[in-house]
Amino acid sequence: MNLLEKEALIREKAEEFEQASPETVIRWAVETFPKITFACSFGAEDVVLVDMLQKISPKTDIFYLDTDFHFKETYETRDRMVERYGLKFVRVSPLLTPEAQAAEYGDELWKRDANACCNIRKVEPLTRILGQYDAWITGIRRDQAPTRANAKKVEYDVKFGLVKFNPIASWTSEDVWNYIRENNVIYNPLHDQNYPSIGCEYCTRKVMPGEDPRAGRWAGQEKTECGLHK
């Protein structure tokens, strides 16, 4: 399938999938693109998709970007999911250790240049791992941020050069939590402590009542995305 044929198919399926269930989207994705992977951050949306994948295609690769700066609760959530499902997450690490990054760029780069830190610890590793696949699945939702408002359930990811599936793009936060409760899905306990969106420990704070759900990410900076999706 050449690029033009692939783009035509994506446009057709984006319209068809708009009213489809996440499971329908996932099933078609894994059947159509054998070289597909799921990017898991262990947030609420992603643990839902892990649960769905284990029911539909348990052999599909699932990776996570280990920035070395995650909350301990995030690593504990990973370990609990490994035990529950018997799966093996693919760990993708930055080329620089935290110590090497500090030696080259100075201590606490995230305070001085959060974009540079994200590029080193997230974007470059993601680019590296996605180069091994033809398609990827993400847990982004349209109402998470203005930058995600136009996300289709299937689209061509120009930045990384592969097909991108967003099976729960049309879901609300309530939809996510209903699935978690109804299916007894493991989730990060930080969600119960006013952390609706969880990133690296140094760049994530609690969200106060009335604040936007992503206000706790890179608080005080003109930054809303780490560069993985925009």
pLDDT tens across 148-194, in order?
889 999 999 999 999 999 999 999 999 999 999 999 999 999 999 99
Distance CA 128, CA 96 (A): 14
Confidence of residue 219 (pLDDT cuts 50, 70, 90): low
- Give the model's pLDDT for residue 206: 87
What would the two tokens of residue 113 be?
């240049």
pTM: 0.89
In three-state form (DSSP H/G/I as H, E/B as E, the rest C), the secondary structure along 46-68 is HHHHHHHHHHHCCCCEEEEECCC
- Measure Cα distances from 103 to 97, 107, 111, 118, 125 in Å: 10, 7, 15, 17, 20
Taking the C-alpha atoms of residue 26 and residue 49, their distance in angstroms, rounded to an integer, is 9
Identify the burial level of 164 via C-beta atoms within 10 angstroms of its C-beta, where 0-12 means exposed, 13-18 middle and 19 or more buried: buried
Mean pLDDT of all residues belonging to the chain: 91
* pLDDT tens per residue across span 45-82: 999 999 999 999 999 999 999 999 999 999 999 999 99
CA distance 31 to 125: 26
Q: C-alpha 41: how far from its chain's center? A: 5
Q: Between 96 and 206, where is the model more confident?
A: 96
Return the axis-axis angle of helices 44-56 and 173-183, rounded to nearest 10°: 50
Name which of 13, 41, 37, 35 is nearest 25 in CA terms: 13
40 an active-site residue? no
Q: Residues 117, 118, 203, 226: which is the catalytic one? A: 226
